[in-house]
Amino acid sequence: MSSTHSPIEVTSDELRAMSPEEQMLAGAEADGVHVVHRRNRFPIPGTKAEKRAERGVAMCFLISALAGVGFVVAFVAMPFHWHLPGTPQTFRFYTPALGGLLAVMMLFMGVGLVLWAKWLMPEEEVVQDRHDEPSTEEDRLLTQATLMVGIDDTGLPRRSLILRTLGLAGGAIATVPLIAMVGGMIKKPGKQLEHTLFTPNPKLFPPAGLVPLVYSDWRRVSPDDILPGGIATVFPGIREVGADGKTGVTSASSPTLIIRLRPGQKVEARKGQASYGWPANAPEYVAFSKICTHAGCPASLYEQQTTRLLCPCHQSQFEVLKDAKPVFGPATRSLPKLPLGVEVGSDGRQYFVARSDYTEPIGPAYWERS
């Protein structure tokens, strides 16, 4: 077949004399669209096959409409309020029913349309000229000249003073709004990442300021609460809302894991941190930051048998007996250790306090960290 049909040349009288189909073909030709094959799928009118196809498509649309009605009925009539287990759980059918009926409605609409096109609309094979050659040399030349003369008219090539000052102004326009917008969002990190709420706070806890350790429900943590081999997640007992809008329990840097060793277990402490556990001379309890030093997830899966802490996000593993040193996975730094102390409460029981803040930043590493 040839792809270079010339646009049809017919008079308007000839056009008017054409049938609509011929006019359509003429219009297509004029647009460089050549209908090379076109065939009515049912050239003989009134065949059963045609009626069958028509009924099939109509059936699809009917099912779609019925599913739509079904959706409205289900939407209005079905129970959807959540109820406790043990009571009728009919609400559980609500979402599947809605989604299913919507899907049926959409599916049969879509299938009906596609079948309509495939079964009933004429077969056609159409070829369109792409006309995707680049512009002609002449066009390029003329456009280039238009641009050049235009630039020349502005005088920019000659007036370097204007060009340079314009460059300055353009630079300002491009950057100043950005600075104005982003500038307001800049916050100076300062030393904020180096401290947690365990920092002794004489104002809240006179006289020594040692911050008590609490559970998430603000109960104080006593050594007796934890069985040998057991763990507890604890927080600084500070109810005041800090700079980040959080209390001790909700602050992201606070979560701390106290582990009570089993008899006979001993932690090889890092240099200078031998006394961070409790009791200081022969630590039975050790407290590590729960925030993984890799990506900041809580490293909270403690395997009693292997004495390893696992972070479920990227599977870093920390050996508790080696002072929470990373032994597998992507983490590079040990979990920081909290110096534990104990004070006697008003009820005569012993309660944990933090003797000081962590001595290194908790959580993932960052540039300023040594």
Q: Which of residues 279-338 bind other proteins (CB under 8 A)?
A: 290-291, 294-298, 300-301, 311-316, 326, 328-333
Q: Of residues 59, 69, 73, 121, which one binds other proteins by CB under 8 A?
A: 121
- Closer to other proteins by CB, 284 or 324: give it: 324
What's the min distance (Å) between Cβ of 34 and other proteins? 8
> Which residue's structure tokens are 């507890």?
232
Burial letters 322-335, b for 16+ CB under 10 A, else e: bbbbbeebebebbb
Residue 129 binds to other proteins (criterion: CB under 8 A): yes
Residue 99 binds to other proteins (criterion: CB under 8 A): yes
Nearest to 55 by CA among 116, 11, 9, 140: 116
What's the min distance (Å) between Cβ of 32 and other proteins? 9
Residue 199 binds to other proteins (criterion: CB under 8 A): no
Tokens (6 digits) for 207: 């006289």
Residue 350: DSSP 8-state: E
Nearest to 244 by CA among 197, 205, 206: 197
Q: Of residues 66, 113, 274, 280, which one binds other proteins by CB under 8 A?
A: 113
Binding segment for other proteins (CB under 8 A), chosen from 22-30, 144-152, 161-169, 269-277, is: 22-30
Binding segment for other proteins (CB under 8 A), chosen from 95-103, 145-153, 202-210, 271-279, is: 95-103
Alpha carbon distance 199, 220 (integer Å):
17
Burial letters 170-182, b for 16+ CB under 10 A, else e: eeeeeeeeeeeee
Contact by Cβ (8 Å): 359, 336: yes
Report 141-180 residues binding other proteins (CB under 8 A): none
Alpha carbon distance 41, 52 (integer Å):
13
- Closer to other proteins by CB, 91 or 205: give it: 91
- Closer to other proteins by CB, 160 or 366: give it: 366
- Closer to other proteins by CB, 128 or 165: give it: 128
Nearest to 290 by CA among 264, 316, 272: 316
Total number of residues that touch other proteins (CB under 8 A): 106
Alpha carbon distance 159, 11 (integer Å):
57
What's the min distance (Å) between Cβ of 139 and other proteins? 16
- Closer to other proteins by CB, 118 or 158: give it: 118
What's the min distance (Å) between Cβ of 259 and other proteins? 15
Residue 44 binds to other proteins (criterion: CB under 8 A): yes
Q: How deeply is 350 buried, as exposed, middle or buried, from its count of CB atoms within 10 A (0-12, 13-18, 19+)? A: middle
Binding segment for other proteins (CB under 8 A), chosen from 45-53, 264-272, 273-281, 334-342, is: 45-53
Q: Of residues 14, 21, 22, 124, which one binds other proteins by CB under 8 A?
A: 124
Binding segment for other proteins (CB under 8 A), chosen from 105-113, 155-163, 170-178, 275-283, is: 105-113
> Which residue's structure tokens are 């998430």?
216
Cα three-residue angle 186-189-191, rounded to 5 degrees: 160
Residue 41 binds to other proteins (criterion: CB under 8 A): no
* Residues sharing a CB contact under 8 Å with residue 143, sequence separation 6 or more, in sequence order: 135
Query: H or E segment at 318?
Result: strand 317-319
- Closer to other proteins by CB, 167 or 312: give it: 312
Residue 36 binds to other proteins (criterion: CB under 8 A): yes
What's the min distance (Å) between Cβ of 144 and other proteins? 20
CA 357 to chain centre: 33
Report 213-242 residues binding other proteins (CB under 8 A): 216, 233, 235
Alpha carbon distance 250, 184 (integer Å):
26
> Which residue's structure tokens are 């007036």?
159
Q: Of residues 48, 153, 272, 305, which one binds other proteins by CB under 8 A?
A: 48
Alpha carbon distance 71, 103 (integer Å):
10
Report 50-89 residues binding other proteins (CB under 8 A): 52, 75, 80-82, 84
What's the min distance (Å) between Cβ of 270 and other proteins? 16
What's the min distance (Å) between Cβ of 306 and other proteins? 12
